[in-house]
A and B are shown apart, each in its own frame.
Chain A
Amino acid sequence: MQVIINGESRDVPEAITAAQLVDLLELGNKRLAIESNREIVPRSTFDTHIFKPGDQIEIVQAIGGG
Chain B
Amino acid sequence: MQNNDSLIIADKSYQSRLLVGTGKYKDMDETRDAVEASGAEIITIAVRRSNIGQSPDEPNLLDVLPMDRYTLLPNTAGCYNVDDAVRTCRMARELLDGHDLVKLEVLGDEKTLFPDTMATIEAAEILVKDGFKVMVYTNDDPIIAKRLEEIGCVAVMPLAAPIGSGLGIRNPYNILEIIENAKVPIIVDAGVGTASDAAIAMELGCDGVLMNTAIAAAQNPVLMASAMKKGIEAGREAFLAGRMPRKRYASASSPIDGTFF
Q: Nearest chain-A residue to B25 (Cβ)? A: A64
* Pair B48/A40 contact, Cβ less than 8 Å: no
* Pair B52/A63 contact, Cβ less than 8 Å: no
Min distance, Cβ A25 to any Cβ of chain B, angstroms = 5
* Pair A65/B22 contact, Cβ less than 8 Å: yes
Set A29, A42, A65: member contacting B44, Cβ < 8 A: A65
* Pair A64/B46 contact, Cβ less than 8 Å: yes
Residues of B within 8 A of A64 (CB): 21-25, 31, 45-46, 61
Query: How many interface residues does chain B have, given as a range?
Result: 35 or more
* Pair A61/B95 contact, Cβ less than 8 Å: yes
> Can you report 24 residue pairs joining A to B where beta carbons are below 8 Å apart?
A5-B52, A26-B53, A27-B50, A29-B56, A33-B92, A34-B94, A35-B87, A38-B87, A42-B94, A58-B49, A58-B91, A60-B47, A60-B48, A60-B50, A60-B91, A62-B46, A62-B74, A63-B47, A64-B45, A65-B22, A65-B45, A66-B21, A66-B190, A66-B212
Q: Which residues of A contact B (CB under 8 A)?
A: 5-7, 25-27, 29-35, 38, 40, 42-43, 58-66
Q: Which residues of B contact A (CB under 8 A)?
A: 21-25, 31, 44-50, 52-53, 56, 60-62, 72, 74-75, 77, 87, 90-92, 94-97, 163-164, 190, 211-213, 216
